[in-house]
Structure 1
Amino acid sequence: MTTATLTLSHPEALIYTMVLASAVDSAVKDEELRTMGDVVRTLPVFATFDPENLPRAVESCMQLISSGEHGVEEAIAVIRDSLPPYLRETAYALALDVVAADGQALQEELRLLEMMRHRFDIDRLVAAGIERGARARWAHP
């Protein structure tokens, strides 16, 4: 299946968003994996998703992003096209949570977040509010 015809369920698209945020720096960290698992098990948007299917969704996303030089851009396009606008803000928030999970945001991660914000058509002020919420949730003492 080509990415032009790939359509994900809403939960799968949100999982792809988290995987992309985790993998963009070439190192999927344990903290990020734990965050993804916790999110899938607890947020209402994943109520119809069986957490046992998480490894399959992660692998599917990893295959997409490693499929060529434009894998990240293709994954973002698939996510955008699979989500209604109101869930694109949720996707952005989940990506921020995964990036923040290890306590540092690397340049590659920040660039990805910027790409997502633009491709998901998230207003800058809305994005700033989502970003501030993530900083508050992930603050270290």
Structure 2
Amino acid sequence: MVELISGQKSIFSVSQTETRSLATHFIMLTEDNRLSDIIDARVKEGCQNEEVISVANLAKRCLNLNGKNRPTMREVTSELERIIGLSQKELNIQENCKISKNTMDDASNDWDAVSTSITGDFDSGRTPSSHGEPLINIKTW
């Protein structure tokens, strides 16, 4: 998982003379609250911050030196499915909001079109009609 979210190999070069374990580097950065330093730019662009943090936390649990404290593969898949489910739910909410906004915008535009298309000679007390004749003759006393 760390390789996927970082875009780096499990052993990478820090300099020409030094190589480092990605797992160790990842743990050090997360403990220093510098997770963003290791996240691949494509992941930053394509995922929400909460998703990346959730996967990173899961990855960190998987790297625990004490095997008894690491999650089982079933727990890992369950957690990843939960993250994906939350992501899908968020996308559905965003899509519904876009649809609602577009519907409201369309209704507003339709109303604007109707309200601006009605014309008539209101100063004379006549109401508009399709033939230029008033629908009702209004007499004032």
Instruction: Tell whether the structures are fold-level matches, with TM greater than 0.5.
Output: no
Greater share of helix? 1
Superposition TM-score, scaled by structure 2 size: 0.24
Superposition TM-score, scaled by structure 1 size: 0.24
- Rg larger for: 2
Structure with more relative contact order (C-alpha pairs < 8 Å, separation 6 or more): 1
Greater share of strand? 2
